[in-house]
Amino acid sequence: MSYEMLHTPSPSQSKKKAPSFQQLWQSICDVMTGMPPLESRGNRPLQMTFEPQLQSLIYFYLQEHESARYLLQALAEDDFARQYIAPPQGIKKSSSNEAINTRGLEQLIYVYERLRAKATQVLPTEHTHLGDLVAIDGSLIDAVMSMRWADYRKGAKEAKVHLGFDLNHAIPAKIFFTNGKGDERPFVSPILSPGQTVVLNRYYQCRRNFDLWQDEGKYFVCRIKARTKKTILHASEITPGGVVFFDAVVHLGHPYRNQTITPVRLLGYRIGGAEYWVDTNRFDLAAEDFALIYKLRWEIENFFGWLKQHLKVYHLIARSEYGFMVQILAGLITYLLLAIYCRKHHQEKVSIRRVRELRIKIQNEARDLDFETPDTQAKLHFLHAKT
pLDDT at 152: 53
pLDDT in tens, 215-226: 999 999 999 999
Residue 337 lies inside a defined structural domain of this protein: yes
Average pLDDT, the chain: 86
58 & 97 share domain: yes
238 & 327 share domain: no
What domain range is 271 assigned to?
202-289
Three-state SS letters, the chain:
CCHHHHHCCCCCCCCCCCHHHHHHHHHHHHHCCCCCCCCCCCCCCCCCCHHHHHHHHHHHHHCCCCCHHHHHHHHHHCHHHHHHCCCCCCCCHHHHHHHHHHCCHHHHHHHHHHHHHHHHHHCCCCCHHHCCEEEEEEEEEEECCCCCCCEEECCEEEEEEEEEEECCCCEEEEEEEEECCCCCHHHHHHHCCCCCEEEECHHHCCHHHHHHHHHCCCEEEEECCCCCCEEEEEECCCCCCCCEEEEEEEEECCCCCCCCCCCEEEEEEEECCEEEEEEECCCCCCCCHHHHHHHHCHHHHHHHHHHHHHHCCCCCCCCCHHHHHHHHHHHHHHHHHHHHHHHHHHCCCCCHHHHHHHHHHHHHHHHHHHHCCHHHHHHHHHHHHHC
Reported as a pLDDT band with limits 50, 70 and 90, residue 154 is low
Residue 217 lies inside a defined structural domain of this protein: yes
Residue 168 lies inside a defined structural domain of this protein: no
Of 105-109, 154-158, 358-362, the range with the lowest mean pLDDT is 154-158
209 & 272 share domain: yes
274 & 326 share domain: no
Total tally of structural domains belonging to the chain: 2
282 & 356 share domain: no
pLDDT at 14: 42
Residue 299 lies inside a defined structural domain of this protein: no
Residue 130 lies inside a defined structural domain of this protein: no
pLDDT at 58: 93
